[in-house]
Amino acid sequence: MDTQNEREWFEDWFDSPYYHILYQNRNEKEAELFIDSLIRTVPITPNSKILDLACGRGRHSYYLNQLGHDVTGVDLSQSNIKCAQRFNNDRLSFEVLDMRDPLPKTQPDYVINLFTSFGYFIHEQDDIKVLKNVHRVLNNTGKFIIDYLNVNKTIQSLGGKEKFTLDNFDFDVERIVKKNFIVKHIQVNHNGRRSNFKEMVKILRLTDFEAYFRLAGFVIDQLYGDYKMNPYEQASSDRLLMVVNKV
């Protein structure tokens, strides 16, 4: 199978302006509240070195840097990185990078992967490769923080199409289960022009992550169910937020 074809859905979608319109509620304020909770609970120690893996436009990276941390953000989307680079300073930098490729050898104290930025790849070995890449660069006492959707709750809420308008763009959105993926079909209509995109996120439950982590040399240390860092409940939590250590 052609690897380039496998990557096309997220390369096209994440570089599209419609992506940021659809997820405009994921703003700087939300990022700050989540990071504040994360710092208090994990905790994240002051003046840490942090790698933000799949950083998007850098909203989490920027706030962590404002709090005094040395942050590197990487993302596959060139448009996202171009946008994020306006924040660059001596302790904050961004670069275009596929997470399956070798990561910057900065020996971070923390690697963060937030807002369901994992499980995009068709082949399981690519997911495991990402985790091994993280393991390779993370310092021995460091922590990997990964934020995923709770697929148990998400699957229960699937069904039907949503139609709504944001910033004069009409969206038709449908989420379905196809094989081992949750697929979101997105149609955008604006001024007579119709554009179609999709998101594909692998159905990964806690037991799947535990198996992946074992293969990559990690073990789960802390588990949370939302951005307020409440305990994880399999049936009802919105998120599956894991803090893992190197074995």
For residue 46, what is the domain's CATH number? Answer: 3.40.50.150
Cα dihedral 156/158/160/163 (nearest 10): 130
**Higher-pLDDT residue of 157, 11:** 157
185: buried, middle or exposed (CB in 10 Å: 19+, 13-18, 0-12)?
A: middle
Listed in sequence order, the residues at least 6 apart from 129 whose beta carbon sits closer than 8 Å to its beta carbon are: 100
Whether the ω angle into residue 108 lies within 30 degrees of 0, i.e. cis, is no
Euclidean distance between CA atoms 218 and 131, whole angstroms: 9
Q: Structure tokens of 21?
A: 């319109």
Say which range, 22-36, 196-210, 213-227, has the weakest mean pLDDT: 22-36
Euclidean distance between CA atoms 244 and 148, whole angstroms: 13
Listed in sequence order, the residues at least 6 apart from 189 whose beta carbon sits closer than 8 Å to its beta carbon are: 169, 170, 171, 172
Euclidean distance between CA atoms 7 and 168, whole angstroms: 29
Q: 178 and 60, same structural domain?
A: no
Domain that holds residue 178: 154-199
Contact predicate 63/124, CB 8 Å: no
Q: 136 and 14, same structural domain?
A: yes
Q: 47 and 19, same structural domain?
A: yes
Q: 78 and 173, same structural domain?
A: no
Q: 211 and 135, same structural domain?
A: yes
Q: 161 and 60, same structural domain?
A: no
Q: 175 and 146, same structural domain?
A: no
Over range 196-217, report the average pLDDT.
97
Please write the tens of the pLDDT for every residue from 65-96: 999 999 999 999 999 999 999 999 999 999 99
Q: 193 and 100, same structural domain?
A: no
Residue 45 is given by DSSP the state P
Q: 82 and 11, same structural domain?
A: yes
Number of domains composing the chain? 2
Confidence band of 2 (pLDDT split at 50, 70, 90): very low
Strand order in the sheet with 169-178: 161-166, 169-178, 181-190, 193-202
Q: 129 and 71, same structural domain?
A: yes
Euclidean distance between CA atoms 28 and 25, whole angstroms: 9
Q: 62 and 41, same structural domain?
A: yes
Q: Are strands 169-178 and 161-166 parallel, antiparallel or unpaired?
A: antiparallel
* Of 166, 234, 180, 181, the residue nearest 206 (C-alpha): 234
Over range 173-191, report the average pLDDT.
94
Please write the tens of the pLDDT for every residue from 145-170: 999 999 999 999 887 799 999 999 99
Over range 9-31, report the average pLDDT.
84
Confidence band of 8 (pLDDT split at 50, 70, 90): low
Concatenated DSSP letters for 153-202? HHHHT--SEEEEEETTEEEEEEEEEETTEEEEEEEEEETTEEEEEEEEEE
Q: At what angle do helices 124-137 and 206-216 cross, to 10 degrees?
A: 60
Euclidean distance between CA atoms 101 and 84, whole angstroms: 20
**Higher-pLDDT residue of 171, 1:** 171
